[in-house]
Amino acid sequence: MSNSSLTAGTLSTLAGLGREVRPQQWYKQGVLLLGITFSRNLLDPGAWTAVLFAVVAFTAVAGATYVINDISDVEADRQHPEKRHRPIASGQVPIPVAAAFGAALLVTGFALALAVGPLLLAVLTVYFGQNLLYSAYVKHVVFADVISVAVGFVLRAIAGVVAIDVFLSPWLIVCTFLLALVLALGKRRHELGVSADPERSRETLGSYTAASVDQLLTVVTATLLMAYALYTFTGADTAMMLTLPFAFFGVFRYHHLVHTTEIAGRPEYLLTDRPSMVNLALWAATAVAVLYGLPGLLVGGLS
């Protein structure tokens, strides 16, 4: 075999490993920034170092779980019209190489978490165990599958808090859970709408109905908005109520997109929806201005 063939094969394998860790889903680690933002530590370099270590640790371990899942499901994936194109199922990445890569990701993730502190390592370990349980059993149980996905986001939020040893309002943890549940239910609703054979595309999908998911979306959406409103009423600064219009618009916009576009099937596509992104930027700017007293600082600087 020529050197050029070996190089091409190596590059193909590396590209496959890059796809295997699902870079399009790395946005999920943004939840770890809740703690540093809402604890008013955005300007603390030490806190940023710890949080960034935590973000990389979670990204590595999440990548390892994708590898483990794809290895265990390789035969089923090869029979699936879409999943058969995944790097391991298609043969682009040999299973031994994938296994070694997954082990390296695990070691890296746990080492980084331990460097931050034992509490972060404990949360990351729970997250890894929860993902293994999801892949082995929970994803086959209707309703438990979407709840498990939401719990994963809660663990990320908790990790962002323990990484810098701060307090985060329980209401924000509840909101994180409910928002993730809305996204997971929205994805199920999309899958029901586009799949000719729901049970084949996802085992639990055959147990869902469009009507039941729509009802659950209504209930969870209303609960999410109420929980966020309660946070703004009872949190550190009632001026956070100024962010309520953006929160309501964001949820209403997503609910609209679930029923009118393909975005719900891939929540990361929300990043391409201009109204959602503008609204998110306005919400973030308003929240930061309130939490960090920017209006007061500006007035003080001008006086």
CATH number of the CATH domain containing 130 = 1.10.357.140
Domain boundary residue, one of 139, 165, 191: 165
Same domain, 137 and 240: no
Residue 280 CB neighbour total at 10 angstroms: 17
Strands (E), 97-174: none
- As a whole number, the mean pLDDT across the chain is 86
Same domain, 119 and 48: yes
Q: Are 295 and 242 in contact (CB under 8 A)?
A: no
Inside any domain, residue 5: no
Same domain, 30 and 144: yes
Same domain, 49 and 135: yes
Alpha-carbon distances of 299 from 32, 41, 142, 271, 294, rounded to whole Å:
32, 22, 54, 34, 9
Same domain, 248 and 287: yes
Question: Interhelix angle for 45-72 vs 144-162, to 10°?
Answer: 150
The stretch 148-167 carries a mean pLDDT of 94
Same domain, 129 and 175: no
Taking the C-alpha atoms of residue 254 and residue 186, their distance in angstroms, rounded to an integer, is 9
Same domain, 47 and 73: yes
pLDDT tens for 227-269 read 999 999 887 678 899 999 999 999 999 988 888 877 766 777 7
Same domain, 15 and 137: yes
Inside any domain, residue 303: no
Same domain, 159 and 179: no
- Please report the pLDDT score of residue 208 as a whole number: 80
Inside any domain, residue 4: no
Residue 180's domain spans which residues?
Answer: 169-291
What is the Cβ-side half-sphere exposure of residue 214, based on CA atoms within 13 angstroms?
7
* DSSP conformational letter for 239: G
Same domain, 20 and 161: yes
User: What's the number of domains the chain is made of?
Assistant: 2
Same domain, 141 and 217: no
Query: Does the global pTM surpass 0.95?
Result: no
The lowest-confidence range among 63-67, 169-173, 236-240 is 236-240
Same domain, 156 and 20: yes
pLDDT tens for 276-290 read 999 999 999 999 999
Question: Interhelix angle for 210-234 vs 170-194, to 10°?
Answer: 160
